Amino acid sequence: MSIEVVNITKSYKSFTALKNVNLHIPEGELVALLGPSGSGKTTLLRLIAGLEQPQEGSILFHGEDNTNRDVRERQVGFVFQHYALFRHMNIFDNIAFGLSVRSRKTRPSKEEISEKVHSLLKLVQLEGLAHRYPSQLSGGQRQRVALARALAVEPKFLLLDEPFGALDTKVRQELRRWLRHLHGKLGLTILFVTHDQEEAMELADQVVVMNEGRVEQVGSPEEIYHHPANPFVYSFLGRVNLFHGRIQNGKIKLGEAEFETDWKDKAVEAPAVGYMRPHDVEISLRPPEGKSARSVQAEINHISLLGPIVRLDLKRLDTDEVFEAEMSRQRFMELNVEEESIVYVTLHNVSIYVDSQPLQTHRPSLVPLQASV
């Protein structure tokens, strides 16, 4: 079942949680809503479930307007961040709840319910725990019970609020793999909220990046990582170095480094910001041949040995800007540098955003540019 969110605005007394949000979630996809705390991702999820009502806009399931439908009629499987298992019921009764509260006419027989619950327990690999209580289970087990409970009512799609946020790293990784597997098996549309970009990239077919009540970008993990629509998306998806400079005569100058661009309007002179990932910083002991326009000199301030990778804190000699570089341990051994060494740094894959305020365009105020040599 596809989900369509049209022009949704939701505000509370003192702040606006969502501003004119539009979103299309195709049938059968595993979609992540990714954003920092307070970006409105959980609110959006609750609006889709019907646990909250929007001020404006509508929500369509498979083209059918569901905006004014009650939660209980929407047939949505919702899994809460803290699971919200019924603490006074055992696991069997928890999973059977959705079926056993149906009116007599639509309620399956006791045998059918029992069969269903046991097949779900098998699906979530918790056979034999039917008579335990939630307080007797581990976090990961509770999460799977919550999933089984939501699946028992055969929902149109699944909504998961920070599904693995409360679990330790190892269990989290296991459950991620398991959810991916489950999605492949059931073919259900699944929408989940997370603040962990790694989780979103690893699990989702599509990632919806949200910030301050807006959707910043929608795309596959590959797309959003390699072609971030704006600086927010760029910096939210991983560690980032920032270089400030200007665009002049169609060229970007970041300190002594210079980049050619496809910027048409040569007359415009504006501030520009270059973003780059620490692993794209190339370090050498001698000035590189040929492409010196992208090279600058820098001093190593600090070296952090992080197991397989090594992170260097550097300071550019031309602009005094501080930045990070990451490299493999092997490369680091080859370089044989230490703190306070002066090295040559080549800047690869710089994404440059020009502050386009003077051009009178509205959002996005920063225009992405593909830099080339």
Partner 1 sequence: MRHLTEPAYIRWTLIIVALLFLGLFLILPLVAVFTEAFRQGAEVFVASITEEETLSAVKLTLLVAAISVPLNVTFGIAAAWAIAKFSFPGKNVLLTLIDLPFAVSPVIAGLIFVLLFGSQGVAAPLLAAWDLQIIFAVPGIMLATTFVTFPFVARELIPVMEAQGRDEEEAAVSLGASGWKTFLRVTLPNVKWGLLYGVILCNARAMGEFGAVSVVSGHIRGMTNTLPLHVEILYNEYQFAAAFAVATLLAALALVTLILKSLIEWKTERQAKLDEEQHYDVTGERAG
Nearer CB in complex with partner 1: 88/131:
88
CA-to-CA dists, residue 364 to 41, 359, 360, angstroms: 20, 12, 11
Nearer CB in complex with partner 1: 98/368:
98
Measured CA to CA, the distance from residue 243 to residue 323 in angstroms comes to 9
Minimum CB distance to partner 1, residue 150 (Å): 8
Nearer CB in complex with partner 1: 153/293:
153
Minimum CB distance to partner 1, residue 36 (Å): 8
Nearer CB in complex with partner 1: 76/276:
76
Measured CA to CA, the distance from residue 39 to residue 46 in angstroms comes to 13
CA-to-CA dists, residue 315 to 164, 240, 301, 332, 334, angstroms: 38, 15, 7, 18, 21
AA identity, residue 216: E
Is residue 213 within 8 Å of 56, Cβ to Cβ? no
Measured CA to CA, the distance from residue 34 to residue 193 in angstroms comes to 6
AA identity, residue 48: I
Minimum CB distance to partner 1, residue 37 (Å): 5
Cα-trace Rg, the chain: 25
Nearer CB in complex with partner 1: 77/228:
77
Nearer CB in complex with partner 1: 169/372:
169
Minimum CB distance to partner 1, residue 163 (Å): 13
Nearer CB in complex with partner 1: 109/135:
135
Residues that bind partner 1 (CB under 8 A): 37-38, 42, 49-51, 71-72, 75-78, 80-89, 97-98, 101-102, 133-135, 138-139, 142, 149-150, 152-153, 162, 165-168, 195
Minimum CB distance to partner 1, residue 178 (Å): 18
- Using CA atoms of 141, 143, 149, 151 in order, give the dihedral in degrees to the nearest 10: -110
Minimum CB distance to partner 1, residue 316 (Å): 34
Nearer CB in complex with partner 1: 167/191:
167
- Number of helices (H), then strands (E), belonging to the chain: the values are 10, 21
Measured CA to CA, the distance from residue 104 to residue 116 in angstroms comes to 17
CA-to-CA dists, residue 81 to 45, 84, 131, 194, angstroms: 12, 8, 23, 10
Minimum CB distance to partner 1, residue 96 (Å): 10
For residue 59, the SS3 value is strand
Minimum CB distance to partner 1, residue 61 (Å): 14
DSSP state of 372: B
